[in-house]
Amino acid sequence: MEHCLLLPVFFPILAGVLLLLKRDFKERRSLLVYTGAVLVLGGAFAFFAVMVPADGVTLFYLTKEFPIFFELDTLGRFFSVTVTLVWVLAGFFSFEYMKHEKNEKRYYGVYLIVFGVLLGLDFAGNLITLYLFYELMTLTSLPLVLHTQSREAVMAGLRYLFFSFAGAYMALFGIYFICHFGTTLRFTAGGVIPAGALAEHKTLFLVVAFLMILGFGVKAGMFPLHAWLPAAHPVAPGPASAALSGVIVKGGVLAVIRVVYQMIGVDFLRGTWVQTVWMTLALITVFMGSMLAFGEPALKKRLAYSTVSQLSYILFGLSVMQGEAVTGALLHVAAHAFIKVALFLCAAAIIYRTGCTRVDELRGIGRGMPVTLWCYTIVSLGLIGIPPASGFVSKWLLASGSLASGIPVFSWLGPAVLLVSALLTAGYLLPVTMKGFFPGEGYDASRFTGKEPPLIMLVPLLVFAALTVLIGLLPNGLTDSLYTYAVHLLTLEV
């Protein structure tokens, strides 16, 4: 059953490479059929791998000690399902959006390659494989940022590359020591470094842990290495912005979980300065990102700053190292992915149909694009954390887990910051809805008439809005599974 793990990874990558090498299609329809078929088949392979138990498979050896090894555990399954849903739906959305963009073939070729790389990251069975695909994720997603080839895009791409590599090198520093002292490179709950080695080299491993959290946290936009995100995401084409903000940034979250919970171990880090600094940086990022989003007039950049804030909800939950908080963090991975992709796709639909890029230009848009704005409103309520949307459940678990942790100051400071951030989130998202549906006097009703996007763009928005509500209404099955896994990561008794 080796193909079960290899097909989802390498089928989209090879299909994307072939697309880039192929001469231009005679008809645009053929390009879309090819891309759509690869997305559907790649998604089917990924779901099959998730559903069917399979042994791990070694692809090859970098050295005698470092195999490139694939294996699916609960965390990998959870992330790969999230990635697949987002990538396939955003891909079909782009079929209409990219109609008036240049270099479509290149865009779809790169898009397919990144799909496979992301699944490779999720399927990684050891630390070396994770790091390899983490670096590939940066390199292969860079063309999505550079796609328009404008000066702004090039500068944003360079910033993306610099920050990503800086973070990756911090992580690589830690990998050297884990490889030297660890008993295995496979992900193991509780960690792989013997207690004796941790005790003897405590200061060293605290520095290693901090550098790896900070390094992988770059991709998740954690302060102080967050500046690339609000620059890179808005300049990409709309569907690519959605994919970047929805799932590519989650690669940093996945890597942090693997390192903290399955390489070094929370028993070693709990109560240390590393945990304190990590919680502090996460809360600073939550508040700072919300404040910057609140004052940002450009719609896509406002959503990018929002991503900076919301990702650190996840990082804060992980830093608390408590069962409910970790469960809330994991649930927010999926909730935020679906919500933020929907928000960026709504912005893309608005820009595509009207050319409006600023929030103050959207007055009355609900009269001409009611379905789009309703989808925007539903997922906005989810991001704010209003029941019954999914964001309410994840943020409730984050806050209750923080309170139950008993950590001095942070046990109450965390929920307080999350509450303030939720109020700011309402302040930067809901004015679009209010002014869109209730423009007031002096509004030209004909301005947005007939601007609703076609069905191929509306269906992904409706699906993500439905998922946001569905997870919020029926959360128990998912949260129970995630809590069981969180307890496993924390090596506690259920």
Tell me the pLDDT of the chain averaged across its residues.
91
Q: Is 368's pLDDT higher than 90?
A: no
pLDDT tens track for 413-442: 999 999 999 999 999 999 999 998 888 777
At 79 the pLDDT is 95
At 366 the pLDDT is 86
**Statement: the pTM of the whole predicted model exceeds 0.85:** yes
CB 353 within 8 Å of CB 449: no
At 101 the pLDDT is 82
Of all residues in the chain, the percent with pLDDT exceeding 90 is 69
| 325 vs 400: CA distance, rounded Å | 7
pLDDT tens track for 65-93: 889 999 999 999 999 999 999 999 999 99
| 199 vs 191: CA distance, rounded Å | 14
SS (H, E, C) 237-294: CHHHHHHHHHHHCHHHHHHHHHHHHHHHCHHHHCCCHHHHHHHHHHHHHHHHHHHHHH
Neighbours of 386 (CB within 10 A): 16
CB 276 within 8 Å of CB 320: no
Res. 104 pLDDT band, cuts 50 70 90: confident
pLDDT tens track for 247-294: 999 999 999 999 999 999 999 999 999 999 999 999 999 999 999 999
pLDDT tens track for 174-202: 999 999 998 989 999 888 999 999 999 99
Cis before 234? omega within 30 = no
Res. 493 pLDDT band, cuts 50 70 90: very low
- 382-385 contact pairs (CB < 8 A, 24+): 382/335, 382/339, 382/468, 382/469, 382/472, 383/306, 383/310, 383/336, 383/339, 383/340, 383/343, 383/425, 383/429, 384/422, 384/425, 384/426, 384/429, 384/430, 385/422, 385/425
pLDDT tens track for 208-244: 999 999 999 998 888 888 888 888 878 888 888 888 8
Q: List the chain domain ranges.
A: 3-489
Q: Is 54's pLDDT higher than 80?
A: no
pLDDT tens track for 454-472: 999 999 999 999 999 999 9
Which DSSP symbol is given to 193?
A: S
Number of helices (H), then strands (E), in the chain:
21, 2
Of all residues in the chain, the percent with pLDDT exceeding 70 is 98
> Which are the contacts of 328, defined by CB distance < 8 A and separation ≥ 6?
317, 393, 394, 395, 396, 397, 398, 399, 400, 401
At 494 the pLDDT is 34
